[in-house]
Structure 1
Amino acid sequence: MTQGIALAVLLVLGGLAIAGPSGLLAWGENLRLLDQRRATIATLSHERDELKVQVNALNPSNADPDLVGELLRKDLNVVHPDEVVILLDKPAD
């Protein structure tokens, strides 16, 4: 009787080792997810580095005038009195 229970437990453990969530069959899926997440981390790290550069350029003690002007024009829609604005029509789809 106890040998049958022990055999059943071993068979269940063996089945989980092969087909369980962290078994041999799930190994390829886990590697694919790991590669996907590493690519996402690399993309986010690059974006974070770009934002750090932009934040440093906007430091109030010595802000980059070109970047400040660009952001003012883009975000607040303002221009200098001596500038000319040329509106371009969007191409029809």
Structure 2
Amino acid sequence: MGIFREVKVRAGQIAWPVIGMSVVVYFAYHAVQGDRGLLALGKLRGEVDTLQAEVLDVRNARFELDAKVTMLRVATLDPDLLEERARLLLGYGHDDELVVILRPNDTSATALAAYKR
């Protein structure tokens, strides 16, 4: 009976440290690999950088459009821009101009050469 008692005492001495280490390993694993862990943080930071670049692109496009709108206001009307927009929207052209209509996706050299005469 002495051996069983010795095994029971040794198991009791080892059990708590093993449980403690298991808990530490569990939380350490999830701190790195979990949904809110270090790897997820790196991925989110990459997405934030990508979206910030996209926001800058959209802001630049907005400022360009805002500048065009400003030029089309009555107080600051730019005649060249007005003529360009009117021709584009209404399809007008002068008698001495040649209008070339290309399909939107067909900008190849053969398509362009076909319209040169």
Fold shared per TM-score above 0.5 = yes
Indicate the structure (1 or 2) with the bigger Cα radius of gyration.
2
Which residue pairs with 1:84 in the alignment?
Answer: 96
Pick one of 38, 41, 44 that aligns with 1:30. Answer: 44
Unmatched tracts of structure 2, length 5 or more: 1-15, 103-110, 113-117
- Looking at secondary structure, tell me which structure has more helix per residue: 2
TM-score (norm 1): 0.70
Using a 3 Å threshold, how does the CA distance of structure 1 residues 45 and 71 change in structure 2: closer, same or farther?
same
Q: TM-score, normalised by structure 2?
A: 0.58
Larger RCO (CA within 8 A; separation ≥ 6): 1
Of residues 82, 85, 110 in structure 2, which corresponds to 1:68?
82
Alpha-carbon deviations, 1:25-82, whole Å to 9, x = none? Answer: 21221121111101101110110110110011011233111000000111111134xx
Count of residues paired in the alignment: 85
CA distance in 2, matches of 1:65, 1:89: 25
Q: Structure 1 unaligned runs (5+)? A: none
CA distance in 1 between partners of 2:52 and 2:86 (Å):
35
Q: Percent identity, aligned pairs only?
A: 27
